[in-house]
Amino acid sequence: MKLAENEEKALKELREELLVKYPIIDIRLYGSKARGEGTEDSDLDVMIEIPEYDQTMVAEIDDLIYRINLKHDVFISALVFGKDELEEGPMSEAPIYKVIQREGVSL
């Protein structure tokens, strides 16, 4: 996995702020950057798992990501899932979730 310095800093800040403010279960980088195939223009695909999907929490996480993107000149693209969705709902069988499980790198 090859990340630019600003990308590493952005992901570190995201992880730290998420863990302090929210009951985060898992945070994973996936996609081209996780596979080491990313280019300078690739976004940082991140999956965030929370105990239960909460629209207010997701909106706050989106605001946090927006601020970090601007601060570090990166583009973090996040998918936020509730644990219940991933364990019992249709997302448990979704192709994107299977990719994240296979290639995702815990942050």
105-106 sheet: strands from edge to edge? 76-82, 44-50, 26-30, 105-106
Q: What is the CATH number of the domain that holds 67?
A: 3.30.460.10
Mean pLDDT for the chain overall: 94
As given in the structure block, the two tokens for residue 17 are: 């702020």
pTM: 0.92
Q: Looking at the 3D structure of the chain, how many domains does it have?
A: 1
Please tell me whether residue 40 adopts helix, strand or coil conformation.
coil
Q: Which residue has the higher pLDDT, 2 or 55?
A: 55
Q: What span, in angstroms and rounded, lies between the C-alpha atoms of 70 and 13?
A: 13
The predicted pLDDT at position 41 comes to: 87
Domain that holds residue 36: 5-106
As given in the structure block, the two tokens for residue 77 are: 């693209």
Q: What span, in angstroms and rounded, lies between the C-alpha atoms of 79 and 46?
A: 6
CA geometry: angle 51, 23, 42, nearest 5 deg:
90
Mean pLDDT to the nearest integer, 25-32: 96
Is the pLDDT at 54 greater than 90? The verdict is yes
